[in-house]
Chains A and B, each alone.
Chain A
């Protein structure tokens, strides 16, 4: 059974750096053509794709947030880490990690999500 689970702080202060970890099971981060994306959803708003890391360590980032994001993985620990610098209250959202399927650019399954609030 494939599962993903996000972990990280529930509250961060403005200007701080957010670090989130996605721990996966049931598949290997070294599987070709797969990979893991981070996607967020502000309360009551739409999904927004943030970043992706492939099995070969190739990375892609949202154009609007590229300067603030870093995605990395530790295959031995089955973990994908996302860091976002200079957090702002508008970054308050539920952050999801999700597996990209080998057959196309779609995500299945998703983690349960973790709500991060940015407030002083």
Chain B
């Protein structure tokens, strides 16, 4: 049972927009801690996708965006591409510990 709750799976056709939610509580996201997102392609290590709720590291396409409100955060992917098929994880901070979401598998139809 992860501290941060994500939908197990989402899907979309190429070119479409999808969103992945990350729901926390008053002790983590709701306490003002930042949310970060990682992309894990099959068989590889996670890669930082969004940091500080909405910031993209250099090299991450602007098709990826993040937002946060209250006790939740969201990752949006526009112009979906086949190469976006991966697992996505949110991460935040809670009681002096780092916590991850349960992960969301994105399928590009």
Contact = CB atoms under 8 A, between A and B. Distances in A.
Interface stretch (A9-17, A23-31, A68-76, A99-107): A99-107
Contacts of B47: 109-110
Nearest to A112: B45
A86 interface: no
A51 to B, nearest CB: 10
Contacts of B2: 46
A60 B103 contact: no
A47 interface: yes
A105 B34 CA distance: 8
Contact of B52 (A47, A103, A107, A111): A103
Interface residues of A, number: 24
A37 B100 CA distance: 13
B51 A47 contact: no
Contacts, number: 65
A111 B97 contact: no
Given A37-B98, A46-B100, A108 B89 contact: no
A96 B46 contact: yes
Contacts of A112: 45
Interface string B74-108: 00000000000000010111011111111100000
Contacts of A104: 34, 36, 51-52
Nearest to B33: A105
B46 A105 contact: no
Given A96-B46, A110-B46, A113-B45, A101 B51 contact: yes
B29 to A, nearest CB: 12
A1 interface: no
9 contacts: A46-B2, A46-B103, A47-B100, A49-B99, A104-B36, A105-B34, A105-B91, A107-B46, A107-B48
Given A49-B91, A110-B47, 7 more contacts: A47-B91, A49-B99, A52-B98, A60-B96, A103-B52, A105-B92, A113-B45
